Amino acid sequence: MTTFIQLIFSGLALGCGYALIALGFTIIYKASEVINFAQGEFLLVGTFIVAVAMFSWRVGFILALLIGIAATAVIGVVFERIVLQRMIGRPPFTIIMVTIGLDVLLLTVVTILVGGTPPAAPAPFDSLNAITVGEVKFGLNAIASMIVTALVCAALYAFLRFTRYGLAMRATAIDQEAALAMGINIRTVYALAWGIAGAIATIGGVFLSASSNNALFDVGLGQSALAAFPAIILGGLDSILGAVVGGITIGLVYMLTQGYESSGFLGTNFHLIAPYLVMIVVLLIRPYGLFGKRKVERI
Amino acid sequence: MSTPTPVASPAPASMPAHSGLFRSSRNRGLLLGGLIVLGVIFLFGGDGWVSVLNFTMVMAIAALGLNVLSGYAGQISLGIAFFMGVGAYTAGWLGGGKPLFPGDPSGLGLSFLIWLPASGIAAALIGALIGPTALRLKGFYLAIVTLALIFIGQYLFINLQSITGGTQGRYNFPTPGFGDFTFASPVPILGLEFTTNQWFFLLLLPLLALAALFVGNVARTRTGRAWQAVRDNEVAASIMGVNLFEAKMGAFILSSFLAGIAGALYASLTGIATPTTWNLLLSIQLIAAILIGGVASVWGSILGAAFVFAVPVALNTFSLLPQSASSTGVSGGDLSAIFYGLLIIVFLLFEPAGLVGLIRRLRTASQRFDARRKGGETAAAMASSEHETPLEVERMDLARQTGVSQLPDQ
Amino acid sequence: MSAISAASADRSGASSGEPLLTVRGITVRFAGVTALADVSFAVRPGELFAVIGPNGAGKTSLFNVLSRVYQPVAGSVSYDGRDLLRLKPHQIAGASIARTFQNLGQFPHTTVLDYLLLGRHSRMRSGVLLGGIYLGPARAEERENRDYCQRLMALLGLERYRDHPLGSLPFGLQKRADLARALAPRPRLLLLDEPVAGMSLEESQDLAAVLLDIKEQLGITQILVEHDMAMVMGIADRVLVLDFGRAIAEGVPADIQANPEVIKAYLGEEIADKPPAAGAVGVETNG
């Protein structure tokens, strides 16, 4: 029983990390219909910068986090301005490929900068700090992760619902041309979307890394963030609620399978593919995800 | 049909294939030149360079496979590395001999003429199995499912230890050979002594040529046209009579077949494979290869493979890397990854038709230049009306446009 | 225009006998909109049948049903004695039905020749294996079909543009190439989706003449969706008028032109009821 609760807890924490990744992804897609394969590496870059800020520049966690957020937001906006602006109207395949190119670029740059000596993983608390109830450990980092995710979701919701720019973003997501006709500055909306996505990526990356209990910064963070794709698909590409539901579901699936797989017959590392299997099953029934909408092709 | 009225410009009785590989004497000349260069490297380049060429040729076969699926038929796939792995392990299992050390899986010792085709067929069969489910999806969803293939593949490869050797890998792969003669322990033939790598070269070149010819032929006949129609607009294509399922499945199966062959050759060449060999990065490298070389193009696949796989080695060998880089432990591999990450972006921004498109542009531009020089106005006018096709239309953007056609701006 | 009228002078009794296409009670609904409601009509073999109506009347939806892209919620379509609704989109080509497209941006990089050969897809057979080997059946098939397409291009004045990508052609030529592509498999029934949209007067007249040639020399049955009233009335044997998804009139052009329902649909109620008096001011027009 305690194992089960422990696994559920870890699953939720992990799921929050995935939810944040999926959120960032969804924001970009909703605003500009771009599928950003590089979202995982935004995480990586952001987390790396936070790590550097914390350990090389000796800055406190919160400030380091803010610096990381600012940096990835800037990278996102710059990429959007320099590259994506010129690819408006190109077919989806091309745009996916461009973001894959960015993904490779970011990954390699960070790998080179890290070199042979990775910094410690940035985290608000020491990874051993936990609240222990009976035999179940509720790690402080994990708790922080969940709280922050909830805060981010709330903030995002408030932003989209109650602010001018949030409204503009929602309008653009529904119908770009109509939004343009209403005088909404699409370029600003795009930049905003990428900036927000970059910011969320850093937050997600830091907490993902923290809840994974790695002592050192892991260059594979971006790749492990690939597990967020099943979350994204589960939630449908363009639904905020879906992103969160998807993320948490996948986190739970991952942890539960990892926890119980030592019972042998499923072999090693089944938990790595469990999210993908769930995703495939969902796609078989609903090819556009649980919350997604059908696309119409015109002739 | 009513009898055709005579037209101003008589057309030849049967016209050449539209992008027939070696139609013009200029193309033939280039091909000859290329072969000569290859011959020189083969004879005098040293084993290192021959080995690089071999590796490139194997990757070119894989790139051809990827182009069939994603370039011509427009189905995004990140999963090609998986099919290569299937081919490799099939080859190992069927053709491998005795294990090289404890834990290394054994093989059935079957002949080259069995294990090579079988590796392609095994991959194709798996493609046929997965196809109907996967190809129902489009765009991003298809991409992620093929991504899932990579991870599921690695999981399977780790766990099927009796064939793959698990995480420690498999070293027991066959080398090509006929009867008693194998590439691993070559004997002089007709008094000529070749190294193992040189024998591989002599095998891989015709295999690549065969694959290239085959794909090129399919591309310029009924099936190739159907694939490109599916890529550009599925619904319109189906109204014109193209059976979407058959078309996509055909592309998927051929693509998997070629990937399997390439995987088998790769394993045979390098002599080792671990589950991580068949990873996402390999798929991405191949995607980069077709994007840089030229999507939906046979030459593009070959050029792209050369670019992505041979250039980094060249950089390393000739120490073209800046000294400071190596002191931070940067490998040629890392720098080349940045290099082609950047190149993907640059090419997609400015030359979506890849190197092949670039070459075409330069050629047309130089033809116009020649014409102007030679004959003044009339010739220039003729040249430019001959190639009335504005240069910008040469760009081969992939996939579906949904609406009014737009000429991309120059 | 006179040339067209003269040529179509004897068209009223184009043919008689069993209809080639019988549409009964077709209803199409999606996303809360009823695109077609209980539409019925019949087209005789060899006829040039036009479907007209204001924008949004459901003409393209009708075509999409006939090309099997849409599935109607009610009704039946009988083609050549068979149930057309059982066919999937890619099977209509096999049933000798061809369709032109309204939007032509789908294949900008395909050359005219390749586009026509694509039209021959249902009449050719080589697949991956035969195509890859090429020598033998595939090569013979290619040669034969290229010759055929060359003659088809010559017929429609496209031979100059054989190797030009469609996207590089002016709009009128693209339309002509699309028509050639639709004719390539020698269909029995040709569905023409706004064939003269965007064309100049001269180009429309040329195309109208071509359609009449298709009817008279090739005997192909044509169903035409169009906005260009003059052209339609000039060449059609019979006309169906749609408005808001319903069929409001069917008959020969002369009758349709005089039909008050039709006038009402196009011009609005007030004008239909009160023919405008010369110099009248303050006649209300509907928005």
Q: Quick check: B348 and A97 CB within 8 A?
A: yes
DSSP output for A116-150: T-PPBPP-SS-TT-EEEETTEEEEHHHHHHHHHHH
Question: How many Å apart are CA C142 and CA A182, to the nearest integer?
Answer: 53
pLDDT the model gives residue B22: 52
Residue B220 with chain C: CB contacts under 8 Å: 142
Each residue of B187-211: pLDDT tens digit? Answer: 777 767 778 888 899 899 999 999 9
Confidence class of residue B384 from pLDDT cuts 50, 70 and 90? very low
Residue A298 with chain C: CB contacts under 8 Å: 103
Each residue of C157-177: pLDDT tens digit? Answer: 899 999 999 999 998 899 999
Is any Cβ of chain A less than 8 angstroms from the Cβ of B399?
Answer: yes
Residue C38 dihedral angles phi and psi, to the nearest 5°: 55, 55
pLDDT the model gives residue A213: 65
Each residue of B232-241: pLDDT tens digit? Answer: 889 999 999 9
Residue B409 dihedral angles phi and psi, to the nearest 5°: -75, 150
pLDDT the model gives residue A295: 58
What's the distance, CA C286 to chain centroid?
A: 31
**In the predicted structure, residue C130 carries a pLDDT above the cut 90:** yes
CB-nearest to B345 from A98, A107, A269 is A98
Confidence class of residue B16 from pLDDT cuts 50, 70 and 90? very low
CB-nearest to A101 from B155, B234, B345 is B345
pLDDT the model gives residue C280: 44
**Residues forming beta bridges with residue C38, ordered by sequence position:** none
Confidence class of residue A10 from pLDDT cuts 50, 70 and 90? confident
User: What average pLDDT score do residues B87-110 get?
Assistant: 86
Is the Cβ–Cβ distance between B91 and B174 less than 8 Å?
Answer: yes
What's the distance, CA B159 to chain centroid?
A: 29
**In the predicted structure, residue C81 carries a pLDDT above the cut 80:** yes
Residue C241 dihedral angles phi and psi, to the nearest 5°: -110, 125
Is the Cβ–Cβ distance between B297 and B356 less than 8 Å?
Answer: yes
Predicted model pTM: 0.85
Q: Which subunits sit against B, judged by 3+ Cβ pairs under 8 A?
A: A, C
Lowest mean pLDDT among A216-225, B39-48, B236-245, C142-151: A216-225
Tell me, what amino acid is at A46? Answer: G
Is any Cβ of chain A less than 8 angstroms from the Cβ of B280?
Answer: yes
What average pLDDT does chain A have?
81
**Tokens of residue C74, six digits:** 């009610």
Q: Which of C102, C106, C115 to mutate to test the interface with B (most CBs of B within 10 A)?
A: C106
ipTM value of the model? 0.85
Lowest mean pLDDT among A20-29, A239-248, A259-268, C211-220: A259-268
More confident position, B371 or A231: A231
Q: List, as ranges, residues 126-155 from B with C-beta within 8 Å of A.
A: 133, 136-141, 143-145, 147-148, 151-152, 155
What average pLDDT does chain C have?
85
For A22-64, the three-class secondary structure string (H helix, E strand, C coil) is HHHHHHHHHHHCCCCCCHHHHHHHHHHHHHHHHHCCCCCHHHH
Q: Smallest Cα–Cα separation from C37: which of C48, C28, C24, C50?
A: C28
CB-nearest to A101 from B158, B341, B399 is B341
pLDDT the model gives residue B375: 59
**In the predicted structure, residue A180 carries a pLDDT above the cut 90:** no
Q: Please tell me which residue of chain A has the smallest CA distance to C193.
A: A299
Each residue of A125-173: pLDDT tens digit? Answer: 776 677 777 777 777 778 888 888 888 888 888 888 888 888 888 888 7
Lowest mean pLDDT among B235-239, C64-68, C181-185, C256-260: C256-260
Is any Cβ of chain B less than 8 angstroms from the Cβ of A92?
Answer: yes
Q: Which subunits sit against C, judged by 3+ Cβ pairs under 8 A?
A: A, B
Each residue of C212-250: pLDDT tens digit? Answer: 999 998 999 999 998 888 889 889 999 999 988 899 999
What average pLDDT does chain B have?
79
